[in-house]
Amino acid sequence: MRKAGSICNLLIIALVIVSLFFTIGCRKKNEPEKKKKVIGFSVVDMQPNFFQEMEKGVRETCRTMGYDYKFHDQKYDPALMLSGCENLITQGIDASIISPCEPSALGPIVKKTKSRGIPVVIADIGGGGSDYDAIVISDCFNGGVIAAEYMAKMLEKRPNVSKKVGVLKCMPGHVYAVRRGEGFTKRIQELRFEVVSTLCANDVRDQGYRVAQDMMTAHPDINGIFCENDPMALGAVQAVRDAGKSAVDDILVVGFNADAEAIEAIKAGYMAATIQQVPYEMGKKCVELTDQLLQGKPLTFSNPQLREITIPVRLITQENVSEYFPGKY
């Protein structure tokens, strides 16, 4: 009995040692011999598809433009974001691209980085009022406008439509997500629709479901719901379907982000549309801007006051979904 226990213990230890070796063996190899300039990229989290695509954009563009690449994952922890960015600096990067999990904590990082003469480009999320060189974001306001125009066009095809729509909002701290709703609300009102309800569903699916359900109970004649992100939209779709209606033909649900699940739902005909941000292009643009900064070239901003550079978004509907997302996403 005792022997079996000790063998078991030894096995565990062996397993642990092997996994440690694996970990060290898995590091990416960098050859600093050629004295290439190094770009460091710190990302929010490598679990969501969105940031994987962004990382791919940064990595591949670094390679094609002849930069070395160093990477760090913040795992949604502001303290890890700070230490990871500090660690990138000590690894000798020449320029820094940061996609911050917590924009308000960017202050000390940007100060530290820039005090060493290293330019900082922010990728998406927000700049937190820090002294960054440029920030690359999706054109969120315009995304909302596109969604409004699509919804109006689709609803006006129907006879006797009530022209009443609702909006599910993200948490108030998300500056850029808020712009999506602003763009939508402004445009849909210009098109003489009425926004009867604007509620916050805290970014997540189950709350999207609950809030959409409440919205339909309060306004039974509602015809469309715009959601500031896709998880909430998927929740809303479920609520609409549970009420025995269709999220395409009865209550039009439009999301934002083009998450994999939303794409599948659009393909299957459960959900009307979503607005796709193009994270790969965002990552690519960040490296191009960094390149310009390193060569001392001036940048042209979409919004000079906040040093913003916007990347266009596109509407994904059943008509074009298989064109942009052939096969499984």
Partner 1 sequence: MKTNNFRQLWDRAGIFVALLAIVTIFAFINPGFRKPANLSNILQQCTPIGIAAIGMTFVIISGALDLSVGSVMALTACVMVGLIDVVGFYPAFLIAITFGFCLGLINGLIVTKMGVQPFIATLGTLWVYRAFAYIYTQNKPMQSADAGFVCWGENICYVPRLFVVMVLCYLAGYFLLYHTPFGRYVFAVGSNRRAAILSGINVARVNLFVFALVGFFSAMAGAALAVRLWSAKADTALGYELMVIATVVLGGTSLKGGSGTFAGTFGAAILFTVIYNAMDMFQVQSYWQKIALGGILLLALSLDGLRRKYTV
As a whole number of angstroms, the distance between CA 124 and CA 310 comes to 10
> How near is the Cβ of 162 to partner 1 at its closest, in Å?
34
Distance, in Å, from the CA atom of 47 to the CA atom of 52, rounded to the nearest integer, reads 7
When asked if residue 27 is in the footprint of partner 1 (CB under 8 A), the reply is yes
Q: Would you count residue 218 as binding partner 1 (CB under 8 A)?
A: no
Total of chain residues touching partner 1, rule CB under 8 A = 48
The answer to whether 72 contacts partner 1 (rule: CB under 8 A) is yes
According to CB under 8 A, which one of 41, 54, 97, 102 is a site residue for partner 1? 102
Query: Interacting stretch for partner 1, rule CB under 8 A, among 26-34, 253-261, 291-299, 308-316?
Result: 26-34
Q: Using the rule CB under 8 A, which residue among 17, 158, 245, 324 binds partner 1?
A: 17
Burial class (CB in 10 A: 0-12, 13-18, 19+), 118: buried
DSSP 270: S
In the list 1, 34, 64, 90, the residue contacting partner 1 (rule: CB under 8 A) is 90
Contact with partner 1 (CB under 8 A) among 7, 16, 190, 303? 16
Return d(Cα 70, Cα 40) in angstroms, integer. 5
Kindly write out the interface string for residues 150-189 of this chain, putting x where it contacts partner 1 by CB under 8 A and - elsewhere.
---------------------xxx----------------
User: Cα(152)–Cα(315) distance, rounded to whole angstroms?
Assistant: 14
Question: What is the side-by-side order of every strand in the sheet holding 273-276?
Answer: 194-200, 164-169, 224-227, 252-257, 273-276, 314-317
- Give CA separation, 99 vs 53, 55, 131, 285, in Å: 13, 10, 15, 13
| Nearer of residues 69 and 270 to partner 1, judged by Cβ | 69
Residue 322 touches partner 1, criterion: CB under 8 A? no
Instruction: Name the burial class of residue 79, with classes exposed (0-12), middle (13-18) and buried (19+) by CB atoms within 10 angstroms of its CB.
Output: exposed
C-alpha distances in Å from residue 182, one per residue of 124, 188, 221, 259: 18, 10, 23, 21
Q: Do residues 305 and 297 lie in contact, with contact meaning Cβ atoms separated by under 8 Å?
A: no
- One of 82, 121, 123, 211 touching partner 1 (CB under 8 A): 82
Of the candidate spans 67-75, 188-196, 275-283, 301-309, the one that interacts with partner 1 by CB under 8 A turns out to be: 67-75
| Residue with Cβ nearer partner 1 (75 or 307) | 75
Closest CA to 106 of 116, 120, 94: 120
**Smaller CB distance to partner 1: residue 44 or 147?**
44
For tokens 């969120």, the residue is 140
Q: Which is nearer to partner 1, 17 or 218 (CB)?
A: 17
What residue ranges bind partner 1 (CB under 8 A)?
A: 5-6, 9, 12-13, 16-17, 19-20, 22-24, 26-28, 30, 46, 70-73, 75-80, 82-84, 86-92, 102-105, 107-108, 128-129, 171-173
